[in-house]
Amino acid sequence: MPAVFSLPYTCYDYGHTWTSSCSQAMLDGGYYVFFESLRIYSIIHALSFILRRKKVNKQNVMHLIANILQSTAFLTYNGFSYIGAFCMSRLVLGNINVMSSSFLPAWIASFMSLFIEKPERHSLLALYVTNVAIETLIKMVHARGFRSPLPHSEVLMFSLSLSMASWLYSQHKLHGILLIIMRFLFGDIHNVTRTEKSTKNYHHYLNAIKGVLKPFVLGVGVQAMLQLVSSWKRIVYKRDFQAFFAKKNLRLPLFLLALSSSYRVISSVLRQGTKWSDGKVASVTGLASGTALLIYPNISLVIYMTTKVAECMYGLGMEKGFVRSVPGFTVFLYATSTALLLHAAVVEPHNLKDSYWRFLNRITGNRISEMNRRLLDEFGFRSSTLQPSFWPQYDMTQVSPHLKEFMQKNAIPS
């Protein structure tokens, strides 16, 4: 619960501190977001174009450019309208509170901006921001002293999700990226007949070994790429390659190796040694092999797996008529998740995922770091934790009397 419920400061006092003009702040926000989102979406859509092996002709290239510009317009309008809604809420309410400080304007801006983007991209965007929002929400809950009484609760959640995904896989109910992941990690193991004599099928063993090594090699490659991206200056200019050989880099490859191998072994033993149904074998196999996460405890991976399984179960429920499609739910989910992330970025950025905080700074030209969070500390969420000594350079003729009073009380020179 916040220490106070509202604060008297203006949007210039705590928000767009680099300019006293709301309209100029909106233009600045849109300007920075436009160029960064243009760069991001150019890469994303170009990669998609290449992976889909589309022909390079005038029609396809024009379609590619149109997609890039449409996605750029979507994100640009999100940044532009966020500042507009931010200032308007302060004007209408006459003060700022926990909700209007960021969540409410972010929700309005995100809701409106998503209609600019193509509908077929809505689900992917909603899923991404929801995953990050859930992880942020967990950190916010932990920061308030609430933790799961169960040790390794993330491993339990992953095992349960993998168990459900395995059951869906055995029933041929998986689709999309989750199906691709399951096939890559575990092969078509649920399609092997129970009467197959594995002891005499050397090709079966050879394929199993190859299937186990592929995830391990992928894990090594992913870790190498991550190190290259994060330490490229040290690698290129100083020829320092020690980052590639750190022990922590083996966690992901070993996790994938343990997950794939244990899944295959347990499934084979249960299929050959019991008369259980394929669904039961798959569920137990997923539950048991999910403990491999102990090697690489990663909450982002757990959340992604859980949300993808929930998405598949929801789709299956609609097919069976157990649940109904909720009109506008994807837009609502995107707006709410994005609003939560921007709320955390303003009110308690120390609880935001590091990579997302860096993304927000990059896409706003560091403007989001120029907000005066020392004023928001009065809400009781330790908003200035990341920048405890930061104080903006104000035009003192434009600030409110309340800000001047705050500066006098805290001996801050003008």
Instruction: Flag whether 307 is in a domain.
Output: no
Among 242-251, 334-343, 379-388, name the one with the lowest average pLDDT.
242-251
Q: Which of the 8 DSSP states describes residue 6?
A: E
User: CA 92 to CA 80: how far, in whole Å?
Assistant: 19
Looking at the predicted structure, is the pLDDT value of residue 316 above 70? yes
The verdict on 138 and 171 lying in the same domain is no
Residue 224's pLDDT is 76
Residue 202's pLDDT is 56
Average pLDDT, the chain: 88
Residue 199's pLDDT is 47
pLDDT one-digit tens code per residue, 37-83: 999 999 999 888 887 777 888 888 899 999 999 999 999 999 999 99
User: CA 394 to CA 338: how far, in whole Å?
Assistant: 29
Residue 197's pLDDT is 44
Burial of 295 (0-12, 13-18, 19+ CB in 10 A): middle
6-7 and 96-97: which strand pairing?
Answer: antiparallel
The verdict on 175 and 111 lying in the same domain is no
**Domain count within the chain:** 2
Q: Between the CA of residue 364 and those of 40, 85, 360, 407, 411, what are the distances in Å?
A: 13, 16, 6, 27, 30
The verdict on 394 and 355 lying in the same domain is yes
Q: Tokens 């907000």 belong to which residue?
A: 371
Residue 203's pLDDT is 59
* Residues 390-407, mean pLDDT to the nearest whole number: 94
Instruction: Flag whether 316 is in a domain.
Output: no
Residue 198's pLDDT is 46
Residue 398 three-state SS? coil
The residue segments making up the domain with residue 181 are 153-296
Give pTM, 2 decimals.
0.86
* Residues 188-209, mean pLDDT to the nearest whole number: 57
The verdict on 289 and 346 lying in the same domain is no
Instruction: Flag whether 1 is in a domain.
Output: no
User: CA 247 to CA 381: how far, in whole Å?
Assistant: 36
pLDDT one-digit tens code per residue, 117-148: 999 999 999 999 999 999 999 999 998 888 87
String of DSSP letters for 39-106: HHHHHHHHHHHHHTT---SHHHHHHHHHHHHHHHHHHHHHHHHHHHHHHHHHHHHSSEETIIIIIHHH
The verdict on 219 and 347 lying in the same domain is no
The verdict on 291 and 358 lying in the same domain is no
SS3 content of the chain, % helix, strand, coil (to 5): 75, 0, 25
